[in-house]
C-alpha cells in the first residue's frame, strides 16, 4: 500500500511541477476521507491538481465551473414527470461521482453553495424527500479565488468547516516555472497520467488510516492547539470540535503516509496549519493591521508546548 501511495503521487507529479508538499497534503486528505479546498489566484494549477488525482486513482470525476447561474439542481440532480409511466424519474446531478471538482466555488450563489452541505457531510443527496447515496469513495475538491476578487463572495463558515484542509499552492520557483515554459505547448499532459490504484484498494487504505493509534498525550496536544485558537486575542472565531477531529484525521493520514502505525507530535504540527487556515476568522483589528492567518497559526504552534518527540507514542 505504501508503494501505491508513491505511485499515485508520482503520476500526479507528471502534471504538477514543484508542488510536492501540496500533492502530499491532498493525498493525506484523500486517505482521511476528507474534502479539499484549494485557495489561490488563477493560473497556478489548482484545477490541474484535482484532475490529476482523479485520473491517477482511476476514479470517476465530474467538474462544474461555478458561475452565478449554476442552480442547486445542477449539483444534486432533479426529478421530472414521465407521462408514459405516470411517475417521477430522478436525473443524477454532478455530485454522483467519486471526485467532484467544484471549480471557483465562490463565484456561485449562496443557495447553490449550500446544496453541497449535505453531500459533504453525509455522502448523500436528498431530492423530493428521497435520499440517495453518492458512490464510494467520494470527495469534493473545490478551488476558490482569493476573497475580494471580482465577482466572488465568501463561503459561509458552516461550509468552510466541511473541508478537511485548505491549501495554498503559491507561485513556482524560477527553475520549476522555466521547465513549464519549456513544455507549455505540449498538450494532453493529464492524458499521460495512468490509473495506478483501484477503488477497492483506495477504500482499503482509508480503513487502515482509521486504525492508526493516537496516544492520549497527542490528543491533549491537539486540544491545546484548538483551545489556543479559541482564546487568542487576535482571533474572533477559533477551531470547533469538528476542527479538532479534522486535525486528528489528518495526523493519522500523515503517520500512514510515513509508514507508521501511530501518530507523533510532528504529524500534528505539520498538518495543523492546513486544517486551521480556513476555520479561523481573524478579529477586525487584526485584519486592519494586515496580520495574516498563517502568521497567527505559526505563533500558536510556537507558543503551545509540543510533547517531547523522543517519548514513546506506540500503542
- pLDDT, tens only, 62-77: 999 998 889 999 999 9
Buried b (16+ CB within 10 A) or exposed e, 225-263: bbebbeebebbeebbeeebbebbbbbbbbbbbbeebebb
According to CATH, the topology of domain 211-308 is Helicase, Ruva Protein; domain 3 (1.10.8)
pLDDT digits (tens, 9 = 90+) for 157-195: 888 899 999 998 878 888 888 887 877 666 557 888 999
**CA–CA separation, 289 and 179 (whole Å):** 38
Task: Count Cβ atoms within 10 A of the Cβ of residue 283 and give its class: 0-12 exposed, 13-18 middle, 19 or more buried.
Answer: middle
For CATH 1.10.8.80, the residue range(s) in the chain are 211-308
Are 38 and 278 a contacting pair, CB within 8 Å? no
Higher-confidence residue of 94 and 169: namely: 94
Q: Is the pLDDT assigned to residue 297 strictly greater than 60?
A: yes
Give CA 18 to chain center in angstroms: 19
Whether the pTM exceeds 0.85: the reply is yes
CA distance 271 to 24: 11
If you classify domain 1-197 with CATH, what class do you get?
Answer: alpha beta
Domain limits, CATH 3.40.50.300, in the chain: 1-197
The mean pLDDT of 103-112, rounded to a whole number, is: 86
Torsion of CA 213, 210, 155, 20, to 10 degrees: 80
Amino acid at each position: 500500500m505504501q508503494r501505491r501511495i508513491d505511485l499515485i503521487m508520482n503520476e500526479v507529479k507528471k502534471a504538477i511541477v514543484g508542488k510536492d508538499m501540496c500533492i502530499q497534503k491532498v493525498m493525506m486528505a484523500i486517505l482521511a476521507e476528507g474534502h479539499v479546498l484549494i485557495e489561490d489566484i488563477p493560473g497556478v494549477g489548482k484545477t490541474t491538481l484535482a484532475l490529476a488525482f482523479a485520473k491517477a486513482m482511476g476514479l470517476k470525476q465530474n467538474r462544474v465551473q461555478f458561475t452565478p447561474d449554476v442552480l442547486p439542481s445542477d449539483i444534486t440532480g432533479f426529478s421530472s414527470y414521465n407521462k408514459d409511466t405516470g411517475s417521477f424519474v430522478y436525473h443524477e446531478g454532478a455530485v454522483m461521482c467519486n471526485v467532484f471538482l467544484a471549480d471557483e466555488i465562490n463565484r456561485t450563489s449562496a443557495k447553490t453553495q449550500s446544496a453541497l452541505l449535505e453531500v459533504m457531510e453525509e455522502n448523500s443527496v436528498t431530492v423530493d424527500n428521497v435520499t440517495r447515496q453518492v458512490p464510494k469513495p467520494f470527495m469534493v475538491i473545490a478551488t476558490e479565488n482569493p476573497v475580494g476578487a471580482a465577482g466572488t463572495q465568501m463561503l459561509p463558515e458552516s461550509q468552510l468547516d466541511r473541508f478537511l484542509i485548505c491549501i495554498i499552492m503559491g507561485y513556482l520557483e524560477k527553475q520549476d516555472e522555466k521547465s513549464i515554459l519549456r513544455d507549455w505547448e505540449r498538450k494532453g499532459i493529464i492524458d499521460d497520467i495512468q490509473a495506478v490504484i483501484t477503488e477497492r484498494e483506495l477504500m482499503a487504505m482509508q480503513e487502515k488510516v482509521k486504525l492508526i493509534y493516537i496516544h492520549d498525550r497527542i490528543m491533549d496536544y491537539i486540544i491545546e492547539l484548538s483551545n489556543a485558537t479559541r482564546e487568542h486575542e487576535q482571533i474572533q472565531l477559533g477551531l470547533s470540535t469538528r476542527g479538532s477531529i479534522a486535525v486528528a484525521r489528518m495526523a493519522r493520514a500523515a503517520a500512514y503516509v510515513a509508514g507508521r502505525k501511530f501518530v507523533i507530535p510532528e504529524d500534528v504540527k505539520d498538518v495543523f496549519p492546513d486544517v486551521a487556515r480556513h476555520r479561523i476568522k481573524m478579529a477586525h483589528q487584526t485584519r486592519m493591521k494586515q496580520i495574516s492567518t498563517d502568521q497567527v497559526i505559526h505563533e500558536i504552534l510556537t507558543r503551545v508546548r509540543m510533547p517531547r518527540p523522543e517519548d514513546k507514542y506506540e500503542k
